[in-house]
Chains A and B, each alone.
Chain A
């Protein structure tokens, strides 16, 4: 299982959404079916919600009560996602948490925190970085990080650099 699921699955979903507007629409309106189109789904991804980042809206995912996380698209959560510091502060001080991850958002960007208190599992659709128009879907997928799909980072235009 640790070989079949992981954030590369989610990255392929994101790259498809960036390159195929009809797929993106399906992903936002019927995420379970759209994610299944790429062959992903199952335990802890039975009821997916995809939230889209834009220049004016930044989404952040947390589970304050335990550690709910969309396994089929992101794999099992990292230790920090399950830790008390993240779970306690993501809802009361999301901007402080994002700064700790190196992301300083302007006040006119609206931050939406999604607390996974029920059986819905969340995936952030990050913004496609500028200057990536010539990249293939596969090259785009290589840029997408787990952190960007949880909402604690943006996607950088080049692999390894920070946004």
Chain B
């Protein structure tokens, strides 16, 4: 979706504020939100693309106004209700209903540590032929899907060169909507800064974007 989350190239967002000796979490509740999201992820009822899309669905004015962890919490609560893990009444009362689903067996700290150590790889060991080869000139498709996509707007319609083939990965545009993994190659594509931003860009600079096969067409 052409949301405000797709920020690459926007102006007017102000200066960058670097905080010296920044803590990992500024408030204990941020750590709890982080842990809750990981715990729900471990239950396996949704996937990383579903969760990313839900954050993108936070209304744009709200998205820009609130903090990262506030967005994460807002999206998390929406998902819990949308996928029937919680009823709004439970959220409002703070009291769980007896009928609320529970993960069986429950996630324990030991299991959580194993999950974090192992990670959740999104590469897939399936034989899918790459449509493009190293060094090939390609064009990122000029496409504007209303659902989830990971092709940033600034790259759409632009020409680039295949720098590297990362192998086969889950496709977010379908996975975010429970429409299957549709595994395909992901390439690192080099876009010259001139191509993306015009003559104002420094002559030798470039932006490398990781791009799924379906986002590309021959050039």
Contact = CB atoms under 8 A, between A and B. Distances in A.
Interface of A: 1-2, 6, 41-47, 49, 62, 64-67, 75-76, 78-80, 82-92, 94-95, 97, 100-101, 107-108, 110-120
A78 B6 CA distance: 19
| 9 A-B pairs closest in CB distance | A64-B8, A118-B210, A88-B10, A84-B13, A46-B119, A88-B7, A2-B24, A111-B205, A85-B13
Nearest to A40: B117
Nearest to A44: B119
Contact of B120 (A46, A64, A100): A46
Which of A47, A80, A91, A116 is the most central at the interface, judged by chain B CB atoms within 10 Å of its CB? Answer: A91
Contacts of A47: 121-123, 166
Given A43-B117, A84-B7, 15 more contacts: A43-B115, A43-B119, A46-B120, A47-B122, A65-B150, A66-B55, A75-B24, A78-B22, A84-B64, A88-B13, A90-B8, A92-B154, A107-B203, A119-B123, A120-B210
Given A91-B8, A112-B206, A43 B116 contact: yes
A118 B24 contact: no
19 contacts: A42-B119, A44-B119, A47-B123, A47-B166, A66-B52, A78-B18, A78-B22, A83-B13, A85-B16, A85-B17, A91-B9, A91-B154, A92-B8, A92-B9, A112-B206, A113-B206, A115-B207, A115-B208, A120-B186
Given A111-B205, A118-B212, A119-B122, A80 B115 contact: no
Interface string B157-194: 00000000010011000000000000000101000010
Given A45-B119, A112-B205, A117-B151, A80 B16 contact: yes
Q: Bin the interface of chain B by size.
A: 35 or more
A160 to B, nearest CB: 12
Contacts of B137: none
Interface string B110-135: 00000111111111000000000000
